[in-house]
Structure 1
Amino acid sequence: MCRQHSQCIQLVFLLLLAGMGFPAAAAEIDFVRDVRPIFQKHCYTCHGEEKQKSGLRLDIKSEAFKGGDGWGPSVVAGEPDESPLIELVSSDDDVLRMPPEGDPLTADEIATLTRWIEAGAVWPDGVDLAELEDRLDHWAFKPTSRPDIPQVTQQEWPRNAIDRFVLSRLEQEALTPAPEAEPTAWLRRVTLDLIGLPPTPVEVTEFLAAVEQGDDAYAAIVDRLLSSPRYGERWGQHWLDVVRYADTHGFEVNTERPNAWPYRDYVISAMNADTPYDEFIKEQLVGDALGKDAATGFLVTASVLLPGQIGKDEPSKRLARQDSLDEIVNNIGQTFLGLSVGCARCHDHKFDPITAKDYYSMQSFVAGVEYADRAIALPEAEEQARQQRTKLLRQQMKHIEEQLSHVAALAKPRRGHAGKNANTNAEKNVEEFDPVEARFVEFTIHDANLHPKLGLIEPCLDEFEIFTDEALPRNVALAAGGTRVSASGSRSSGKHKLEHINDGQYGNERSWMSDMKGAGRVTFELPQPVRISRIVWSRDRKGEFQDRLPTAYTLKAGLTKESLTTLVDQPPLRAAVSPQRNTDRFSPVRAKRLRFTVLETNNLEPCLDELEIYNAAGENVALAEQGAELTTSGDILVAGRHDPSFVNDGKYGNSSSWMSNETGQGWVQLEFPEEQEIVRVVWGRDRNGKFQDRLPISYRVETAIDDSWRVVADSSDRRPGIADAESSSETTAAGLRFDDMQAVRRLLEEQKALEAEIKRASSRPQVFAGKFRKPDDIHLLRRGDPEQPVEPVKPAVLSAIGDLEFSKDTAEQQRRRELADWIASSENPMTARVMVNRIWQWHFGIGLVETANDFGRNGVKPTHPELLDWLAEEFIRQGWSIKQMHRLITLSATYRQATTYNEAAATKDADVRLLWRYPSRRIEAEAIRDSMLAISGQLNLKMGGRGFNLFNKRGGLSGFTPVESFSGDGLRRMVYAHKVRRERDAVFGAFDCPDAGQSTSRRIESTTPIQALNLFNSLFTIEQAQAFAERVQANNGDDVTTQIRQVYWIGLNREPTADEVADAKPVVRAHGLATLCRALFNSNEFLFFP
């Protein structure tokens, strides 16, 4: 075959292959020609310039190769099988396959993408269809600078630098400032603004007189208001809005957070003290190291699920933990930095240069923070003094307990009669005995039944009858027959008197009451000796009352007081077992071993804290260090707690206790190096009094010298139930006879007083705040899912505005300190800007940056960027003083403008963003309520402490019925109200009062019919209007005109016009002055900043 013919055959073969659709093996994939058209056709709708679903963008090389949220790189060059892009476009799963709508990729298109990746996924530079903007090129991320103060045309108007910046902007827009506000209007404005209350008529009069003397009067007012404790209450509320402070945990259960208020009080105190803002930041992040422990309540202001609300499975616990950390990071980011850092939890931030790695690196700073109630850490000197005092008091208590131990009731085991007294009857008890000659009869009460709520209280006796031994027995106890009665002590009242005990009348209202809890004695002296054989007594012969019934007593009779014979003796029971401390005293017994056996508990396996065994010399011979050897029936060890050696190690508390391995039973045995004469055993379940479960309620104590065991004490002679651990003095007294109690009464009183003192001295105030532990290991999480950890991260600041990174081994507190120092640094471009913007907003209703919590790219740009930077620099220069910022702003000509409307200016700037007048607005809900109370004369200025109730309960699922009528603490400022999440106050909640579910950087201002209805018809308004009217009438007599003038002066700080007086007179005469007061509460002049 010739060469030419061969070539023709080859050409035909190649053409046939091409016609069959097989690509040429040597053909190269061109991105622009082959790949990009596929992306344009199928992908750019969701992953292009307009949208980037799941964080994936395919029109820019760097973004496409970076991949989307949770997938990592979407294209792995040379590895199509490892590239999520191929997996998604070729999936058989209708849910996973891309694109989700429209035609799927053809086999040829998938093959093209596969070959492109196999060939190295070449994407030439310069062919992207869009340009990625530089997210770092944003005004807020650039360092602050102190701009030059601008020159202005109206040189006479500015009062300080603020005015020059504002006026410069106005002149650019051909606008002019409004006239200056009247002095009274400015005074009312600045007073409401700085302390949230209106000025008094006296303050108005004094200010107007001072203005006549010069302009310094304005500065003097500002200084007076800033030094008022009312200032911190007003401006503390602003801060609490931002950090979403509340007194409940939120979510559906919404349980009470009873110890949150110390953080609220800290904020108010810090505001009043003008704590420098950089220190204010540090105290809230690491106050436990700065002597401001309550300030760390900031870290845990968010809603949180309690352990019982979290699933018991580990994934649920990890998710809840991740959610709680997210709240902390989000709070720090938006509060101090004005950035929505939390948006990077599941993916890189969509707008700001905050990566998911940045987010988890920030989380690492607080990875050791937990939400918890705990004791407030006191300053070192204060804590040492507290501990020293507690130690001294405990030594005094130990001395008293040692004295009392020698007179404690002896244990007297009663076989088969555990915890039972004689069956005394409240209605009638008959005591019969062999006849005896008697002139004196003595009834001694050793014990009484327990009141269901009050415990052991003073016993009562109704009629006491003494019958003769005759065919027709006579009651010789009657006072009418000449019998006299005396008592150890009486608690007299209208119902309970000693003379009632033998007056022949029945019932509680004709009874005697002892003055001693559970004890007392009455003695009857008959006119002459008589032979007796029966006595009848009761607590209430009518059977209406069952409490205060004597259950242990002794009845004696005889011819003289000194020679009484015991007729009936019912000994007292010892105290019920106490979780904290129990003493079993017995007659001296020689022993080499002692065994404590638990027969029953209140629940679960028994726990025994310290078991102390005392010899006759008062030495604890049970201690391991004294050579006592321990054996047990079996043990359970939990996380290093409940080791058997803890039984006799001399340490107290649950973590130093022994736990049996048997439910409801078990025993411990101690053997001494040598024989001892044992007199008492002291034991408890938790000597610190925290735990009450696992308590032995039935037990026995045995001793032995050889193999023969002897029961020396058990629970059979104790009261049933569990003793109140709060009062060991009553526990000590239980089981003693009346005469023994009298002998130790002084010691018991001292013991009770000491108990109260020790409780006060040893217990530190509680706070709901950050609780700190070893930090968790933090990982970058795919899609924010705790079950999909990726790489571990270290503590590091946001890479867009800092480059600090710390070791994974950095201690917990040091992590927070480093974070606080970075945020509070003058070099941080966000911190000062964000705070001065908040201050500006709280003065004018809106900040220079409208989005106070978002200074990022999705926020609104500042209206006056140079002024914002100048204020930030000035803030730092003035030592981060918030009060100095107030002085600058409130004394500026900008702030002193009237609210006068200008139609031409409003056409250009309807929202008054350029500040051509003072932007009037309604005062906040709290200021409305507080002002009503102030002018009615009802305001309670008590500061601090637990909040007053706005609802009938302080937390729970639902059913928050509002309190309608307030008194006492309920008339305090509203910042001190117990704030329930998700429940707004019934009256003032309508005025846009936030519910603390989210951060409120700026309160909205709505206008609704319910506001007018609440403010006119609520019981609160009616009561305050009435109180206001009575206040005016009390000071101004019956003249209606004078009353009307005073209502205006007190409520609005001005004289009424002649027309206003004329209109008000017939209303007041017909409906009363309170009606005018209600109308004033509803006026715009009262409700708005002037």
Structure 2
Amino acid sequence: MESMIRAVLAMLALILFGLTAAAAPPKAARSDYWAFQTPAPQAVPSNPSPWIRTAVDAFLLDKLQAKNLEPSPELGKQMLVRRLYLDLWGLPPTPEQVDAFVNDRSPRAYEELVERLMASPHYGERWAQKWLDVVRYADTNGFEGDKLRPQAWRYRDYVVRSFTEDKPYDRFVQEQIAGDELFAGDDQALIATGFLRAGPRHVVGGNTDPEMLRQELMVEMTAGVGSAFLGLTVQCARCHDHKFDPILQADYYQLQAFFAPVTLEEVSIASPEEVAAYEQAKAAHEARLEPIQKTLKEMEKPWHDKAYEINKQNLEPALKAALDKPEEQRSEEEKQLASDAKSQAKVAWYDMLAVMPADIKAERAQLRRKLHAIELEAPTPPRAAFAVGNTDKEPPITHILAIGDYQHPLGEVQAEFLSAVPDFGLEVPGGAAGRRAALARWLTHPQHPLTARVMVNRIWQFRMGAALTDDPNNFGLLGAASPSQPELLDYLATQFVDLGWSVKAIDRMIVLSSAYRQAVATDEAKAKIDPDNKLYWRANRVRLSGEQIRDQALAVTGKLNLAVGGEPVLVPIEPEIYDLIFTEGEPDNLWPVTPDPESHHRRSLYLLNKRTVRLPLLANFDQPDTMSSCAVRSRSTHALQSLTLLNSDFIQDASKAFAERLAGACGQDDKTCQAELAWRLSLSRRPNDVERTLAVEFLSDPDTRLQDFCLALLNRNELVYRP
């Protein structure tokens, strides 16, 4: 029935679209929708108000005063420094860092702090977390097998480095789209092309049609570029012309054609000396594994054979008879039966263990533990780029597909830019090489209507807690029909290009503004006029991400490992989470915990991001599933969040370490010191009189523990929200 319905739908599509598809694809009329017009330079509103610190304030105040609204008061210095650290680094400030800023009376104390924070690699780490959400980065493929991508983490480190160094955004885009074509010989540019492979990938064997898998890859690449750089839902034109935006179905496949020549490659970027050293270490490591593997194989063979005979005896008579018959004497039907019989009689690990005596089973388990321990000591493979290249053959032809079905191709198309956006006189090569380079140049043309707007909107959203459009990934009619501050958006976009596509320049303009420094105020009269705070009369209330909550807990305890970059870390996980890991083999060593316990305290950015297995603390606080681009994380509130913050092994361990830190600094008996230090470490402020009194009373009760006090403090609502 399903195949019949599929055939009928395809036939209808052929009838509806087939006649026009055979001819040259139609061109969309140039759209008069605002997002497809080149941003126009905007004059900064003239206003003598002393509240105005940057151009951002002038635009916002102009709109506020038009509605008879005034900005909210500025945040106090203690909370302002906390906000800055949480926003720019993703970490809370230490008491010493708070004191240094509060006691600095120089007129440029704030500006100098911003510069110090932006100069740190922790600034790049904070931005990387945001960008990796957008490009749906993970360390594994996803789907059933969810296989590890051993070298993918180099792309994550590339992103950290790019934001830290303030790489011009046009170069950042070009490297990710076509680093191999535009910057040959640049290892970092090659690593950057991992962007095109960042999404999930369905890796299956058997009789799966390779064209289906290729089409899935093309769909991922096209949608990824559309979301990240164009801010458009181009994938909505895969089956038909876009229902809301000026994107034809032909546009979609013309955009897809830029990626038709792409091949997935692991490109060595290691020196010959590195490769030779690795091969030597690998041989030595395999020599350690070989005797254990041989012993295991010899130990398992008789029980494997016994299990096979049992499985064989349980076959249906016809299957067993065909299998027992000599191969050369089997008829065609019996050959098929014998093949089915072998499949059904195949021995799984649990079949073998079911017939293995307990003593041998225990000895085998001990050997496997020894084997896995040695496996963890495997030498690190030589450096390679998880990248893309171009086929050295004729690239596949790209067709418009009826209802997006690769089995029903319609008219052929060539790689061309979106018809609703000018081509700026750029040409697209006809062969395999150079297509993506042309696309990268088009995307980063200074007059492109979307690229700069989309990125400055992301910067604004990241700093101010809400974007200037409804959906940062959709500048089309459904996501950005009415920007809250259109003049400001265009001002930022044109400034972005004029300032050399500098992310830090726009970020700095926002962070130095008075608007950014406002408190999260409540005012019923103002809220009636602007309930959604579109005019930014106050700061938005922003909850920390799960990654920030985890990193903050480690920072508070003094255990946070601030090492930057490197291979992903596997931290210990609960048995219930381990059981979620899919395998067709024996379920041991599916999550080989990184041996160095110090690495378990690294920032969450560096933890292994497995698409099918997420850490409860991160997942419960709305970590994206990385199967699609995420521009704005969900902000749910549910009981599992409270339960996780109370009962998870991680939080329990953190509260214990926090208590040990307080006791070590204050001694066991100085309850006032413990309370004071606890507040300063966790909340960046001193407790008020009521809080101090209650804390000392609680800590003085002989029936309570310092660890319980620390656990309660780590569960404060104040701790999971930006001030």
Distance 1:776 1:805 in 2: 26
**Residues 1:134 and 1:823: Cα distance change in structure 2 (over 3 Å):** closer
Deviation of residue 68 (structure 1)?
A: 8.8
Choose from 259, 271, 274 the match for 1:366. 259
Higher RCO (C-alpha 8 Å, min separation 6): 2
* Paired amino acid for 2:713: L
Match for residue 768 of structure 1?
386
- Match of residue 234 from structure 2: 341
Q: Is the 8 A contact 1:844 1:919 kept in 2?
A: yes
Equivalent in the alignment of 2:210: 317
2-structure distance, mates of 1:342, 1:318: 19
Higher Cα radius of gyration: 1
CA distance in 2 between counterparts of 1:996 and 1:1050 reads 33
Which residue of structure 1 aligns with residue 202 of structure 2?
A: 305
How has the CA–CA distance of structure 1 residues 74 and 945 changed in structure 2, closer, same or farther, with 3 Å as cutoff?
A: closer
Shift of 1:856: 0.8
3-state SS of paired residue (2:410): strand
| 5+ residue gaps, structure 2 | 1-8, 21-27, 281-286, 300-377
1:234 aligned to which of 126, 129, 147: 126
The correspondence for 1:209, drawn from 74, 78, 103, is 103
Residue 780 of structure 1 aligns with an amino acid whose one-letter code is I
Aligned match for 1:817, one of 437, 461, 464: 437
- CA drift of 1:180 comes to 0.9
Question: Is this contact kept in 2: 1:243–1:301, CA < 8 A?
Answer: yes
Shift of 1:1007: 0.9
- Paired with 2:138 and 2:276, the residues of 1 have a C-alpha distance of 39
- Provide, for residues 538-593 of structure 1, a one-character-per-residue CA deviation record: whole Å limited to 9, x for no partner: xxxxxxxx9xxxxxxxxxxxxxxxxxxxxxxxxxxxxxxxxxxxxxxxxxxxxxxx
Residue in 2 aligned with 1:914? 535
2: CA distance between counterparts of 1:188 and 1:306?
45
CA 275–250 in structure 1, closer or farther in 2 if over 3 Å, else same = same
- Asked if the contact 1:69–1:346 (Cα under 8 Å) also holds between the matched residues in 2, the reply is no
Structure-2 residue corresponding to 1:883:
504
TM-score (normalised: structure 1): 0.52
Q: Distance in 2 between the 1:305 and 1:74 partners? A: 30
1:219 counterpart = 2:58: no
* Cα distance change of structure 1 residues 283 and 306 upon mapping to structure 2, 3 Å threshold: same
Q: Paired residue for 2:323?
A: none
- What secondary structure is seen at the aligned counterpart in 2 of 1:335? helix
- 1:149 aligns to what? 44
Q: Which residue of 1 aligns with 2:350?
A: none
Asked if residue 184 in structure 1 is aligned to residue 78 in structure 2, the reply is: yes
| Native 8 Å contact 1:797 1:805 kept in 2 | no
Give the superposition deviation at 1:953: 9.0
For 2:19 and 2:240, how far apart are their aligned partners in 1? 18
Distance of 1:391 and 1:1063 partners within structure 2: 62
User: 1:344-368: per-residue Cα shift (whole Å, max 9, x none)?
Assistant: 1111111111111111111111112
Question: Would the alpha carbon gap of residues 390 and 284 (structure 1) be closer, same or farther in structure 2, given more than 3 Å must change?
Answer: closer
How far is the alpha carbon of 1:876 from its aligned partner? 0.9
Q: Does the aligned pair in 2 maintain the 1:832–1:876 contact within 8 Å?
A: yes
* SS across alignment from 1:370: strand
Q: Which residue in the other structure is 2:487 paired with?
A: 866
Residue 60 of structure 1: aligned partner? none
* Aligned mate of 1:136, from 22, 31, 52: 31
Gaps of 5+ in 1: 1-53, 56-66, 77-132, 398-447, 457-545, 547-755
Partner of 2:647: 1017
Map 1:23-172 onto structure 2 (within 5 A).
Answer: 70-72=14-16, 136-152=31-47, 155-172=49-66
Amino acid aligned to 2:67: E
- Alpha-carbon separation, structure 2, partners of 1:231 and 1:284: 20
> Counterpart of 1:993 in 2: which secondary structure?
coil
2:694 paired residue number: 1063
CA contact (8 A) 2:151 2:384 kept: yes
Residue by residue over 1:42-67, the C-alpha shift from the partner in whole angstroms, topping out at 9 and shown as x without a partner, is xxxxxxxxxxxx99xxxxxxxxxxx9
Quick one: which of 617, 621, 631 aligns to 1:1001?
631
Q: 1:139 to 1:1077 in 2, by over 3 A?
A: same
The 8 Å contact of residues 795 and 805 in structure 1, kept in 2 or not, is answered as no
Deviation of residue 1066 (structure 1)? 2.7
Pick closer, same or farther for the CA change 1:75–1:937 going to 2, 3 Å: closer
**Contact 2:466–2:540 (CA under 8 A) maintained in structure 1:** no
Give aligned pairs, total: 601
Q: Shift of the alpha carbon at 1:787?
A: 2.2
Using the alignment, how far apart are the partners of 2:676 and 2:581 within structure 1?
A: 45
Q: 1:73 to 1:1033 in 2, by over 3 A?
A: closer
CA distance in 2, matches of 1:449, 1:1000: 45
Superposed counterparts of 1:593-992, under 5 Å = 764-774=382-392, 775-803=395-423, 810-860=430-480, 861-950=482-571, 951=573, 952=578, 956-957=582-583, 967-992=597-622
Cα shift at 1:777: 1.6
What's the secondary structure of 1:148's corresponding residue?
coil
Please state whether the residue corresponding to 1:769 is helix, strand or coil: strand
What is the aligned counterpart of 1:1083 among 708, 716, 720? 716
Contact 2:258 2:439 in 1 (8 A): yes
User: Is the contact between residue 778 and residue 794 of structure 1 (CA under 8 Å) also seen in structure 2?
Assistant: yes
For 1:334 and 1:989, the matched residues in 2 are separated by 23
Q: Does residue 199 in structure 1 map to residue 143 in structure 2? A: no
Which structure shows the higher helix fraction?
A: 2
Whether the 8 Å contact between 1:196 and 1:234 is mirrored in structure 2 is yes
Following the alignment from structure 1 to structure 2, what is the Cα–Cα distance between the partners of residues 845 and 963? Answer: 35
Q: Equivalences for 1:533-572 in 2 at 5 Å?
A: none
Q: Is the 8 A contact 2:426 2:442 kept in 1?
A: no
The aligned residue for residue 452 of structure 1 is 291
Give yes or no for contact 2:123–2:163 (8 Å, CA) kept in 1: yes
Give a deviation string over 1:796-841, Cα, whole Å, max 9, x none: 1101012379888634341111110110111110000000000111
Q: Tell me the residue number matched to 2:317.
A: none
The one-letter amino acid of 1:979's match is N
Deviation at 1:924, TM superposition (A): 0.8
Listed one character per residue, the Cα deviations across residues 1011-1063 of structure 1 (whole Å, up to 9, x for unaligned) are: 11111121111111111121122122231101110111111111111211111
Instruction: Give how far 1:987 is off.
Output: 2.1
Structure 1 runs (4+) deviating above 6 angstroms are 73-76, 390-394, 448-451, 804-808, 958-966
Q: Within 2, Cα distance between the matches of 1:875 and 1:930?
A: 31
Q: Would the alpha carbon gap of residues 75 and 357 (structure 1) be closer, same or farther in structure 2, given more than 3 Å must change?
A: closer
Equivalent residue runs for 1:445-524 within 5 Å: 452-453=291-292
The amino acid of 1:328's aligned partner reads: M
Q: 1:819 to 1:1015 in 2, by over 3 A?
A: same
Question: Normalized against structure 2, the TM-score is what?
Answer: 0.78
Distance 1:75 1:815 in 2: 28
Q: In 2, distance between residues paired with 1:923 and 1:968?
A: 24
- Inter-CA distance 877–803: structure 2 relative to 1 (3 Å threshold): closer
Residue 782 of structure 1, CA deviation: 2.2
**How far apart are 1:75 and its partner, in Å?**
9.7
Whether the aligned pair in 1 keeps the contact of 2:519 and 2:539 (CA below 8 Å) is yes
Residue number in structure 2 paired with 1:356: 249
Give the deviation of 1:144 after TM superposition. Answer: 0.5
Q: SS state of the match for residue 312, structure 1?
A: coil
Q: State the one-letter code of the partner of 2:170.
A: D
Contact 1:1044 1:1064 in 2 (8 A): yes
CA contact (8 A) 1:982 1:997 kept: no
Query: What is the Cα deviation at residue 147 of structure 1?
Result: 1.0
Distance 1:306 1:393, change over 3 A: closer
CA distance in 2, matches of 1:1000, 1:1016: 28
